[in-house]
Chain A
Amino acid sequence: MATLADKNVSALVKGSVEIENLSVVFKRRDQYGPLQVLESTSFKINPGEFICLLGPSGCGKSTILNLIAGFLKPTRGQVLVDGNPVEKPGADRGFVFQQYSLLPWKTTFENVEFGLKVRGISRVGRTELVNDYLNRVGLYKHRHSYPHQLSGGMQQRASIVRALVNSPSVLLMDEPFAALDAQTRHMMQELLLNIWSDLKSTVIFVTHDIEEAIFLSDRILVMGVRPGHIKETVVVNLERPRHIDTMLSPAFVNLNRQVFELIREETLKSMELG
Chain B
Amino acid sequence: MAVSSKSARKTKRKKYSALGSKFLSQQSLSKLGIVSLALIKSRNLRRAISIVLFFGIWQFLCVIQFNFFINFTFLPPPVEVWNATVEFFSGNAPVHITASVQRVLLGFGIAAILGVSLGILIGWFRQIEDLVFIPLELLRPIPAVAWIPLAILMFPNAESGMVYITFLGAFFPILISTIRGVESTDIVLLRVGQCLGAKQLHILKDIVVPGAMPNIASGLVIGMGNAWFCLVTAEILAGRFGVGYLTWESYVTSNYPPIVMGMLLIGLMGLVSTLIVDLLTKLLMPWRVMKKQGV
Residue in B1, B192, B285, B289 whose beta carbon sits within 8 Å of that of A103 in the complex: B192
Q: How far is the CA of A105 from the CA of B181 in the complex (A)?
A: 15
**CB-based contact A91/B195 at 8 Å:** yes
Q: How far is the CA of A67 from the CA of B48 in the complex (A)?
A: 60
Nearest B residue (CB) for A116: B196
Nearest A residue (CB) for B203: A118
What residues on A are CB-neighbors of B197 within 8 Å? 90-91, 115, 118-119, 166
Shortest Cβ distance from residue A242 to the other chain B in the assembled complex, whole angstroms: 24
What residues on B are CB-neighbors of A200 within 8 Å? none
Q: How far is the CA of A104 from the CA of B192 in the complex (A)?
A: 12
Nearest A residue (CB) for B187: A71
The answer to whether A227 has its CB under 8 Å from any CB of chain B is no
The answer to whether B81 has its CB under 8 Å from any CB of chain A is no
- The interface bits of chain A over 172-196 (1 if a CB of B lies within 8 angstroms of the residue's CB, else 0) are 0000000000000000000000000
**CB-based contact B192/A153 at 8 Å:** no
Shortest Cβ distance from residue B197 to the other chain A in the assembled complex, whole angstroms: 3
Q: Which of A20-28, A77-85, A93-101 interfaces with chain B?
A: A93-101
What residues on A are CB-neighbors of B45 within 8 Å? none
The answer to whether B126 has its CB under 8 Å from any CB of chain A is no
The answer to whether B22 has its CB under 8 Å from any CB of chain A is no
Contacts A90-B197, A114-B206: A101 and B2 contacting too (C-beta < 8 A)? no
Contacts A146-B286, A148-B289: A103 and B189 contacting too (C-beta < 8 A)? yes
The answer to whether B92 has its CB under 8 Å from any CB of chain A is no
Nearest A residue (CB) for B194: A89
Q: How far is the CA of A114 from the CA of B188 in the complex (A)?
A: 15
Which B271-295 residues have C-beta < 8 A from chain A?
Answer: 285-289
What residues on A are CB-neighbors of B202 within 8 Å? 117-118
**CB-based contact B191/A142 at 8 Å:** no
**CB-based contact A146/B2 at 8 Å:** no
Number of B interface residues at 8 Å Cβ cutoff, please give it. Answer: 26
**CB-based contact A150/B2 at 8 Å:** yes
The answer to whether B198 has its CB under 8 Å from any CB of chain A is yes
Residue in A90, A118, A146 whose beta carbon sits within 8 Å of that of B287 in the complex: A146
What residues on B are CB-neighbors of A91 within 8 Å? 195-197
Q: How many A-B residue pairs have CB under 8 A?
A: 82
Which B239-295 residues have C-beta < 8 A from chain A?
Answer: 285-289
Shortest Cβ distance from residue A230 to the other chain B in the assembled complex, whole angstroms: 24
The answer to whether A75 has its CB under 8 Å from any CB of chain B is no
The answer to whether A88 has its CB under 8 Å from any CB of chain B is yes
What residues on B are CB-neighbors of A118 within 8 Å? 193, 196-199, 202, 206
Interface footprint category on A: 35 or more
Q: How far is the CA of A145 from the CA of B192 in the complex (A)?
A: 19
The answer to whether A151 has its CB under 8 Å from any CB of chain B is yes
**CB-based contact A95/B287 at 8 Å:** no
Q: How far is the CA of A89 from the CA of B188 in the complex (A)?
A: 13
Nearest B residue (CB) for A142: B2
Contacts A104-B287, A146-B286, A151-B3: A115 and B196 contacting too (C-beta < 8 A)? yes
Contacts A145-B2, A150-B2, A151-B2: A90 and B195 contacting too (C-beta < 8 A)? yes
**CB-based contact B196/A105 at 8 Å:** no
**CB-based contact A114/B189 at 8 Å:** no
Nearest A residue (CB) for B197: A91
Which A95-143 residues have C-beta < 8 A from chain B?
Answer: 95, 97, 100-101, 103-106, 114-115, 117-119, 142
Nearest A residue (CB) for B286: A146
Nearest B residue (CB) for A162: B196
**CB-based contact A166/B196 at 8 Å:** yes
Shortest Cβ distance from residue B190 to the other chain A in the assembled complex, whole angstroms: 10
The answer to whether B5 has its CB under 8 Å from any CB of chain A is yes
Shortest Cβ distance from residue A169 to the other chain B in the assembled complex, whole angstroms: 13
**CB-based contact A103/B195 at 8 Å:** no
Contacts A114-B196, A118-B199, A166-B196: A149 and B191 contacting too (C-beta < 8 A)? no
Closest 6 CB pairs of A and B: A91-B197, A115-B196, A89-B194, A105-B210, A95-B195, A118-B198
Q: A104-B288, A149-B3, A166-B196 are in contact. List 12 more A-B contacts (CB 8 A).
A: A88-B194, A91-B195, A91-B196, A91-B197, A101-B189, A106-B206, A115-B197, A117-B202, A118-B197, A146-B286, A150-B2, A151-B1
- Listed by A's residue number, 15 A-B pairs whose Cβ atoms lie within 8 Å are A71-B194, A88-B194, A90-B197, A91-B196, A97-B191, A104-B287, A106-B206, A114-B196, A114-B198, A115-B198, A117-B202, A118-B199, A142-B2, A150-B2, A166-B196
